[in-house]
């Protein structure tokens, strides 16, 4: 769910868009009732359990949650890069501008991957091939998809390295991944992801293992590129601090389900699910110096053994009998907000906390 019709990208679009590209606010990607399972020795792991969301041109959707909540698996299913087997999409639709990608043959799907929807992977050092120069890896996008010769493709690679602000791009185009810092490697990954001007960019933990200053630079670069290209951006992360200033919409995932969807400002100001509330409470704050950090008790469930009822109930301080037996639907309570909690009203107005 995403009902914003005036994302920041609509206000800040910086250039005239190429013919055929989506206008600001136009729906790009629709994920509907997506299910993904993995066959494991311990049984069937239900990694994604009925995920729904919509992304529009110029909009940033942040997908939040702890490790193992299904964020990256959802993105891999959208991209069509699940390891199959053991993974398998067992239901749902993934529509790009109205066309269901899951119903396409692999040869047709491949035309969308990189061209229309692209992805920045979590670990740049692992994602880049260590035996090829960074320039050749970027240039390959143009040689394979655009049919350019080696010289032209290399020039395009240099242009992209300049575009993502890698210093001395022409001198460094023949360097190898290990010769770059973590932040520079991430910029190279971004250059590869935007090489073909995709309309949807998925960034999976793009600031992992980077220091705070470099994190800010990477996020600023992504925001700048989004404004320039009017892309829809899906930002996958477990770090609420990273997305506070960049997200238009937020989807919070837990045990393979979206448990809350909301515009960013409303969610930070007044969460409507206990899990979101506890995530926000765990963020270190400058006005709590010397105090003990708040942590969510317990661990996320094993996806082969998700508890009955609300999956969060074993860790929820407000859980009651109904939470242990009935799965709460993702209930819309405002035009652009929804919560999968039997007691979202009490969470929203704080009466749960007052009762404790």
- The token pair at 107 is 């040869």
The three-state secondary structure class of 137 is helix
Distances in Å between the Cα of 352 and the Cα atoms of 54, 157, 349 are 31, 55, 8
Q: What is the pLDDT of residues 174-211, one digit of tens each?
A: 999 999 998 999 999 999 999 999 999 999 998 877 88
Neighbouring CB atoms inside 10 A of 284's CB total 10
Query: Does 86 sit behind a cis peptide bond, omega within 30 degrees of 0 on the bond before it?
Result: yes
In the predicted model, what is the mean pLDDT of the chain?
Answer: 90
Pairing outcome for strands 200-204 and 232-237: parallel
- The token pair at 92 is 């749902």
Q: Which residue has the tokens 């993995």?
A: 38
Q: What is the pLDDT of residues 43-100, one digit of tens each?
A: 999 999 999 999 999 999 999 999 999 999 999 999 999 988 899 999 999 999 999 9
Instruction: Report the distance separating Cα 264 and Cα 137, nearest Å.
Output: 36
Fold exhibited by the domain 8-116+198-355: Rossmann fold (3.40.50)
Q: What is the pLDDT of residues 250-289, one digit of tens each?
A: 999 999 999 999 999 999 999 999 999 999 988 877 666 7
Q: What is the per-residue DSSP string for 213-264?
A: HHHHHHHHHHHHHHHHHT-EEEEEES-HHHHTTT-SEEEEEETTEEEEEEEH
Over range 138-143, report the average pLDDT. 95
Confidence category of residue 9, pLDDT binned at 50, 70, 90? very low
Confidence category of residue 19, pLDDT binned at 50, 70, 90? low
Query: Does 71 sit behind a cis peptide bond, omega within 30 degrees of 0 on the bond before it?
Result: no
Q: What is the pLDDT of residues 101-140, one digit of tens each?
A: 999 999 999 999 999 999 998 888 888 999 999 999 999 9
CA-CA-CA-CA torsion for 216, 51, 38, 117, nearest 10 degrees? -50
Helices 182-194 and 150-163, axial angle in degrees (round to 10): 120
Domain ranges of the chain: 8-116+198-355
Residue 2 pLDDT: 47
Classify each residue of 143-160 as buried b or exposed e, where b means 16 or more C-beta atoms within 10 Å of its C-beta: beeeebeeeebbbbbbeb
Maximum Cα–Cα distance across the chain: 69
Q: Is the pLDDT assigned to residue 8 strictly greater than 50?
A: no
């Amino acid at each position: 769910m995403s009902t914003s019709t005036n994302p920041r990208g609509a206000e800040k679009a910086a250039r005239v868009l190429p013919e055929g590209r989506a206008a600001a606010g136009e729906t790009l990607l629709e994920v509907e009732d997506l299910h993904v399972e993995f066959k494991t020795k311990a049984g069937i792991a239900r990694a994604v359990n009925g995920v729904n969301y919509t992304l529009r041109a110029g909009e940033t959707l942040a997908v939040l949650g702890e490790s193992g909540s299904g964020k990256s698996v959802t993105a891999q299913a959208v991209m069509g890069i699940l390891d199959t087997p053991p993974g398998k999409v067992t239901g749902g639709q993934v529509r790009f501008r109205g066309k269901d990608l899951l119903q396409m043959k692999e040869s047709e799907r491949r035309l969308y991957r990189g061209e229309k929807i692209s992805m920045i992977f979590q670990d740049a050092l692992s994602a880049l091939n260590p035996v090829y120069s960074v320039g050749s890896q970027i240039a390959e996008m143009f040689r394979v998809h655009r049919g350019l010769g080696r010289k032209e493709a290399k020039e395009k690679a240099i242009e992209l390295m300049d575009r993502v602000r890698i210093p001395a791009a022409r001198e460094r185009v023949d360097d190898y991944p290990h010769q770059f810092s973590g932040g520079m490697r991430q910029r190279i990954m971004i250059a590869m992801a935007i090489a073909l001007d995709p309309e949807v960019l998925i960034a999976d933990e793009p600031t992992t293992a980077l220091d705070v200053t470099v994190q800010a630079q990477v996020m600023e670069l992504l925001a700048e590129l989004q404004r320039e290209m009017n892309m829809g951006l899906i930002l996958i992360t477990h770090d609420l601090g990273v997305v506070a200033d960049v997200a238009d919409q937020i989807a919070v995932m837990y045990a393979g389900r979206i448990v809350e969807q909301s515009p960013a400002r409303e969610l930070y100001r007044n969460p409507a699910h206990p899990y979101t509330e506890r995530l926000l409470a765990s963020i270190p704050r400058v006005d709590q110096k010397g105090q003990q950090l708040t942590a969510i008790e317990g661990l996320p469930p094993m996806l082969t053994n998700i508890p009955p009822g609300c999956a969060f109930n074993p860790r929820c301080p407000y859980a009651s009998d109904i939470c242990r037996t009935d799965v709460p639907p993702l209930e819309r309570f405002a035009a652009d907000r929804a919560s999968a909690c039997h007691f979202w009203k009490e969470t929203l107005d704080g009466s749960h906390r007052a009762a404790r």
